[in-house]
Amino acid sequence: MNSARDPRIAIVGAGLGGLTCARVLQRHGRSVTVFEREASADARPQGGSLDMHSDTGQAALRSAGLLDGFRALARPEGDEWRVLDFATGALLAQQGPTPDGGRPEIDRGQLRGLLLDSLTDGTVRWDRAVTGVTPLTDGTCRLLFGDGAAEDFDLVVGADGAWSRVRPALSPAVPHYTGVTFVEVGFDDCDSRHPDLARLVGNGSMLAKGAGRTLVAQRNSNGHIRAYIALRAPRDWHEAAGIDPGDQRAVRTHLLRVFDDWDESLRSILRGGDHGFIHRSLFVLPAPHTWEHVPGVTLLGDAAHLMPPVGLGANLAMLDGADLAQALVTESSVDDAVRAYESIMLPRSMEAATGSAKGLDNLVPAKTS
């Protein structure tokens, strides 16, 4: 039988959702272990700026007791959008920040650091790659590691993202390509080194879009601007174009050709950059993505509901983590807690997935025939 007083809980993945779950559990005196395949917290860059919504991401941070820490790092002025005409570069619309500061921005790395610093030393076991899980007949779950080791837990939480190793225990679903690829490029010390771009972007984000092509640039902390060149194209677009995606000059030449009818102030984003182009094909899980309840295992965040990156993913992952932890604290058994959590999370994610798909279509309009 599972013990509701001191269950053995494993979280696979040290992303925002998994860390939020761990923090809320520890805040209520519960034991938890997080397994992460990366070697350390700084093994790779954590990505760009996130807007934390008051009813999701900020609600999760409140449950974690970290809302004040978040506010000390957040940039309310970052909740600003400038929409430019792709052909002329003229300002079409400007919005934000919201009067109540309801969606302040924060760098993903800063937010992850805030969560990591809040955990008990040793909570995260780095360089522990999980290869799969096996639900057991007694309602527990066996966690399998890349080195051949195995450990049993009362609950295994798959918070391991798009290509989750935990998901197959619950669902045969696999992510599929959306037809949209982001090519990312970064600019450092923008106010001094790239003043024209800094003025173009403003304090928050800049958007310009045409049929099948969109440019988004967002201000991060420390004067950094991260830009995303969004294309509706086959996943192997670079092969069709006859270029090596690692050949920076060839990629730049190709992108300039694709955006040849855009205003030169926007094309400057393609010409510059202090870092190499990073290619990110966007994948999603089928929507709705649901599963039959299986004792001893559940999912949160992208492992449960991978969606396009239009401002919901991180917020929902953190809310998932907080909701699951709260259920584990308040329900009489682990299984009751997971059922209660899934009864809330699955309908919520179905609605969000529909909205995110529409958001991607709006962000990168389809090409007209």
258: helix, strand or coil: helix
**What is the distance of C-alpha 9 from the center of its chain?**
23
Residue 248 lies in a domain: yes
State both tokens at 329. Answer: 């604290």
Range with the poorest average pLDDT among 45-49, 99-103, 163-167, 331-335:
99-103
> Sheet containing 297-299: which strands, arranged edge to edge?
124-125, 33-35, 9-12, 155-158, 297-299
Which residues does 367 contact at the CB level (< 8 Å), separation at least 6?
Answer: 211, 212, 232
127: helix, strand or coil: coil
184: helix, strand or coil: strand
Q: From the CB of residue 12, how many other CB atoms can be counted at a distance below 10 Å?
A: 28
% of residues, the chain, pLDDT over 70: 97
Q: What DSSP line would sit under 194-254, residue for residue?
A: -HHHHHHHTTSEEEEEETTEEEEEEE-STT-EEEEEEEE--TTHHHHTT--TT-HHHHHHH
Choose one of 264, 283, 302: the last residue of a domain. Answer: 283
- 13-20 mean pLDDT: 98
pLDDT at 101: 63
Q: What DSSP line would sit under 35-85, residue for residue?
A: E-SSSSTTSS---SEEEPPTTTHHHHHHHTT-HHHHHHH-BGGG--EEEE-
Same domain, 183 and 244: yes
pLDDT over 80 at 3, yes or no? no
Choose one of 256, 283, 310: the last residue of a domain. Answer: 283
Choose one of 234, 264, 283: the last residue of a domain. Answer: 283
The domain that holds 223 is classified in CATH as 3.30.9.30
Same domain, 55 and 119: yes
Same domain, 348 and 225: no
pLDDT at 186: 94
pLDDT at 4: 42
Q: From the CB of residue 359, how many other CB atoms can be counted at a distance below 10 Å?
A: 17
Residue-wise pLDDT for 176-202, tens only, equals 999 999 999 999 999 999 999 999 999
Domain range for 181 is 177-283
- Structurally, the chain folds into a number of domains equal to 2
Rounded CA separation 205/110 (Å): 18
Rounded CA separation 112/48 (Å): 12
- 101-130 mean pLDDT: 94
pLDDT at 2: 41
pTM, entire model: 0.94
Residue-wise pLDDT for 318-354, tens only, equals 999 999 999 999 999 999 999 999 999 999 999 999 8
Residue 81 lies in a domain: no
Same domain, 258 and 159: no
pLDDT over 50 at 302, yes or no? yes
Same domain, 297 and 239: no
pLDDT over 80 at 5, yes or no? no
Same domain, 212 and 151: no
Say if residues 209 and 365 touch (Cβ distance below 8 Å).
Answer: yes
Residue-wise pLDDT for 135-157, tens only, equals 999 999 999 999 999 999 999 99
Residue 273 lies in a domain: yes
